[in-house]
Amino acid sequence: MRYAHEVGKVRAAEQALMARLPEGTLMQRAAAGLAAVCCRLLPRVYGAHVVLLVGGGDNGGDALYAGARLARRGARVEAVLAGSKAHPQGLAALREAGGRVLPADRAEPAVRHADLVIDGLTGIGGTGALREPYAALARLTEDTDAIVVACDVPSGVDAGTGRVDGAAVRADVTVTFGTCKPGLLIDPGAARCGTVELIDIGLGADLPDPDVVAVWPEDLHIPLPSPESDKYRRGVVGIVAGSERYTGAAVLCVGGAVRGGAGMVRFASVPRPVELVRQRWPEAVTTIIERTPAALEKVGRVQAWVVGPGLGTDRGAEALVEAVLRTELPVLVDADGLTVLARRRDLLRRQAPTVLTPHAGELARLLGRDARREEIEARRLEHVRRAAAELSATVLLKGSTTLIAEQDRPVRVNPTGTPWLATAGTGDVLSGLIGALLAGGMTALEAATAGAYLHGLAGRLAASAAGSGARTGQAPIGAHDVVTALPDAFRTLS
């Protein structure tokens, strides 16, 4: 896993470490790491044109000291100061190494013609929109052909949340120190970071448990079939989805469960979606039910439930959601089921694990009148934590960065998402997939984490397969393409 810590905890760890080290040691460690990454990125350092965008804080000092190291290796280093103040020792070191300071009116041509730009305008403490001239300097990184390297966090990105208000540096590489910061992993800030390089400066012993973690394949502990496995040991998932009006959601949800490794899928709905599921997924055991509280009595034994995709939101749908949540089994609620819960939050008072998979609009309805979709999208980390606490559930917030939260646990970030998944029906596939993992015995947090990872990876694989031979290497996909790619996604974990 890649760990991230809130800004206040990073500051406290830095202070504790600096108290044990000679003055300036920590900045020199950061500058050495930053310069080393820049050297790797440049085809050759000698003769390279490097421009530093320098603010008045410690990140400006890191950039200046790194620039001095590059200058001593033969690079032509120029610094543009955003204000009247700059780190005095760093500035002296740059000048002693042969670097020079440019007037602000030379910034635009310098950045445009640079080989590499180092962003040291603001640091991890920066919040809110950049002011001038910082904003103007940040905008220069949008149009340059130079490699842009951000120091600790791209200026204009809130290190704690990933929020971006106005202009922000767009980096190709972000060199961060000691530990990642949440804003480097969460959109919209993450989209500004490029590749994140972590430099060890010795904070480890002073850092507490992480606040956010990004998962890697080795972190996913998906149960694999053994010689003793049968369909019941592998997990039986019950799916209550679809309606006479919305049939496709049922087919896709069942597909996600079948291709997600379920030993058996029991699907229950009204006649039309049952007919279509039988045609597309004959391995699923189907049951026609009425939309009443007693409907589940006909379905048979299951080990986890999925409810909501395409279900509708009328009183019959509410009766089915209530019936599923009254069981003592793990339950995933998605789509129309979440709309039902927005008016029946009392149904979440249960002891068994519950996974909710909203997008920002659905989460706004669940949280009530004081939550708006736009605010949730801007402050995703804050709201997914709030939802996990208020709703007493595992909450998977879908979007450009998928976040998974449980109360009093580090928030998990899925790194495999792709914009190609922003198409109708892919959420239904995700619901079936996570439901299969729940039925297979995974905890709610682990099932949601693994499901998001595999779902995102399947989307990437499907887009690549669809775009084979195309200029970009990717092409539009539909939800069924994600279902088809799930076995290949699982195969990457073996």
119 is in an annotated binding site: yes
146 is in an annotated binding site: no
370 is in an annotated binding site: no
404 is in an annotated binding site: no
129 is in an annotated binding site: yes
123 is in an annotated binding site: yes
60 is in an annotated binding site: yes
128 is in an annotated binding site: yes
402 is in an annotated binding site: yes
310 is in an annotated binding site: yes
327 is in an annotated binding site: no
492 is in an annotated binding site: no
What would the 3-class secondary structure string for the chain be? CEEECCHHHHHHHHHHHHCCCCCCHHHHHHHHHHHHHHHHHCCCCCCCEEEEEECCCHHHHHHHHHHHHHHHCCCEEEEEECCCCCCHHHHHHHHHCCCEEECHHHHHHHHHHCCEEEEECCCCCCCCCCCCCHHHHHHHHHCCCCEEEEECCCCCECCCCCCECCCCCCCCEEEEECCECHHHCCCCHHHHCCEEEEECCCCHHHCCCCCEEECCHHHCCCCCCCCCCCHHHHCEEEEECCCCCCCHHHHHHHHHHHHCCCCEEEEEECHHHHHHHHHHCCCCEEEECCCCCCHHHHCCCCCEEEECCCCCCCHHHHHHHHHHHCCCCCEEECCHHHHHHHHCHHHHCCCCCEEECCCHHHHHHHHCCCCCHHHHHHCHHHHHHHHHHHHCCEEEECCCCCEEECCCCCEEECCCCCHHHCCCCHHHHHHHHHHHHHHCCCCHHHHHHHHHHHHHHHHHHHHHHHCCCCCCCCCCCCHHHHHHHHHHHHHCCC
427 is in an annotated binding site: yes
288 is in an annotated binding site: no
61 is in an annotated binding site: yes
260 is in an annotated binding site: no
74 is in an annotated binding site: no
359 is in an annotated binding site: yes
401 is in an annotated binding site: yes
201 is in an annotated binding site: no
134 is in an annotated binding site: yes
426 is in an annotated binding site: no
428 is in an annotated binding site: yes
249 is in an annotated binding site: yes
Known binding-site residues equal 58-62, 119, 123-129, 134, 152, 155, 249, 310, 359, 398-402, 427-428
Known binding-site residues for K(+) equal 59, 119, 155
Known binding-site residues for (6S)-NADPHX equal 58-62, 123-129, 134, 152, 249, 310, 359, 428
Known binding-site residues for AMP equal 398-402, 427
